[in-house]
Structure 1
Amino acid sequence: MTALALLHFRRADCEWLVLIETEKSIYELQTIRDEINSELTPDIDLEALERKIKQRLPDAEFLDFRYVS
Structure 2
Amino acid sequence: MSEEQKNLEQIIDDLNHTVQKLSEQVEQLQKEVAVLRENQDKPVLNPAIIGQIGGFVLGAIVLIGIFGDH
| TM class, shorter-length | under 0.3
More strand by share: 1
Q: Which has the higher helix share?
A: 2
Highest Rg: 1 or 2? 2
TM-score by length of 1: 0.25
With CA pairs under 8 Å and 6+ residues apart, which has the higher RCO, 1 or 2?
1
